[in-house]
Structure 1
Amino acid sequence: MDLIESNQLVNEQEHWWTKTRFCYIERAIKLLSKKRQSILEVGCGTCQNLAFLRTKERVSGNIERVVGFDPGFIDPPTFSWRKTNDLFVKTLENSSQESFDLLLAMDVLEHLDNDVEHLQNWLRYLKKDSLVLITVPAFECLWSYHDELLFHKRRYTKKTLRNLASQVGLEPLMLTYAFGHIFLPAFFIRKILAPFAKQKKSTDLQESHFLLNKALYSLGKIEALFGGNPLFGTSVIGIFTYANRDSNSLL
């Protein structure tokens, strides 16, 4: 989650949007199929993705080390994890000379003026034959106050994310849309209702009634189990392999 939104939810890990994204992280973990994995998350925000990796038994046994990077940290977050070699940093330079098996870049690239340059820089920290999980907001037709409040630069499609990935040597293992079940409601709220409402002072990520929260998560989980939505959604999700580098380039 973006740090700007951190005060809008009481329990972020139980929110339907966050929990649905965990499904795709778990898919990347399984695709990697290594017993001991080191993971780097860039733009990790409130670190709930890394907390999921550390606290859920079905995935935590595969995780050797996590490093969270976000230049917006006020204070590095603390979690009651048994692992003591995890690291949370405001800059990647000189923070670690190791290489990672999995890179998470979840809703980060849309904030950056030069998304290609930043992605290329992050790939320097990966081992050969590693994986990259990228999520970005989908479709310019959904551009709204939500994007402006979060300082987004752009929204993507599967095609534009594929083109971006190919420029830095990434090959897609999975490239799809997510949250297809909320595409039409999101379009209606942002494009039809918003012009008649008062100026929005918060993003669309809000607390939901527990029944609605459960229903939306169930729909998102089913969608994720089937590999996402090939046609539309509010997010683009890609899992890529990165094999075109010298694994000793940082050592």
Structure 2
Amino acid sequence: MDLKESDILGADIGRHWYYRSKARAMTSLLEGYEAQRILDVGAGSGFFSRHLLGHTEAREAWCVDISYEAESDSSEAGKAVYYRRAVEQLDADLVLLMDVLEHVDDDRGLLREYVAKVPIGSRFLITVPAFQWMWSGHDVFLEHKRRYTLAQLERVVRDAGLKVRGGHYYFGAVLPLAAMLRLGERLRGPQPASSQLTRHSLLSNTLLSSLCGIERPFMRFNRAGGLSVFCLAEK
């Protein structure tokens, strides 16, 4: 998760339709897998691992991000959260890379690095932005290197030594609207590097969250398209 986006939304991040829907999708995908220790790579504010601490039986989270100015400890729902710039080996049974791989030149290398840090049997939940044709000034602002198709992400995951347990797109219901907005931008000419993430009213947050909620029970079958690519894998 990018710290630039958490800075924009601040305390409202948990109410924003995109992050709220993504967190619920993540929790749904992990249903039945009782992770105890979470390693959240490129964690930013730690929003996703903190969400899991508050909604599952997970008992601690290690949030790793080179952007942290200093290491610190915190808590969520009475459970420990450790913010670190780096970790060596960690007995984690769940590794999150939520919108991380698109930020680095060597996505396979980064993934292999963390595969080597955790035990056999650890699960990996990875998300990335979908489709290079959706590239915009928002990607430039967030310093993305690329966007992915589902097949491309699954190839990266396998090349890093993981076994793919499942993959799909999400936010398919809002993809047509987002695509029209991107088309409008291109018709207007080159756009500056700027964030398209904004605070929404209660009404728009509710409507968009509801739309994504309708999609969520069927997301595992969506190999056609969406704003995000999800991949669940295992070491």
State TM-score, norm by structure 2. Answer: 0.90
Structure 2 counterparts to residues 167-246 of structure 1, below 5 A: 167-196=159-188, 199-200=191-192, 202-228=194-220, 229-242=222-235
Give how far 1:73 is off. Answer: 1.4
State TM-score, norm by structure 1. Answer: 0.85
Whole-Å separation in 2 of the counterparts to 1:63 and 1:107: 21
Whole-Å separation in 2 of the counterparts to 1:182 and 1:90: 35
Structure 1 alignment gaps of length 5 or more: 243-251
**Aligned-pair identity (%):** 31
Give the match for residue 91 of structure 1: 86
Give the match for residue 102 of structure 1: 94
Whole-Å separation in 2 of the counterparts to 1:84 and 1:185: 39
State the Cα deviation string for residues 86-124 of structure 1 (Å, max 9, x = none). Answer: 31101224xxx4311000001000000000010000112
Of the structure 1 ranges 181-190 and 131-140, higher mean CA displacement relative to structure 2 is found in: 181-190
8 Å contact from structure 2 (residues 18, 209) kept in 1: yes
Match of 1:63, SS state, is coil
Structure 2 counterparts to residues 1-251 of structure 1, below 5 A: 1-10=1-10, 11-32=12-33, 34=34, 37-56=36-55, 59=56, 62-76=57-71, 79-81=74-76, 83=78, 85-93=80-88, 97-196=89-188, 199-200=191-192, 202-228=194-220, 229-242=222-235
* Count of equivalent residues: 233
Two-structure CA RMSD over aligned residues (Å): 2.1
State the Cα deviation string for residues 191-221 of structure 1 (Å, max 9, x = none). Answer: 3235527844531221112111111111212
Whole-Å separation in 2 of the counterparts to 1:6 and 1:194: 27
Structure 2 alignment gaps of length 5 or more: none
Q: Give the aligned residue type for 2:148.
A: Y
Give how far 1:85 is off. Answer: 4.3
Higher relative contact order (CA 8 A, sep 6+): 1
Q: Give the aligned residue type for 1:181.
A: A
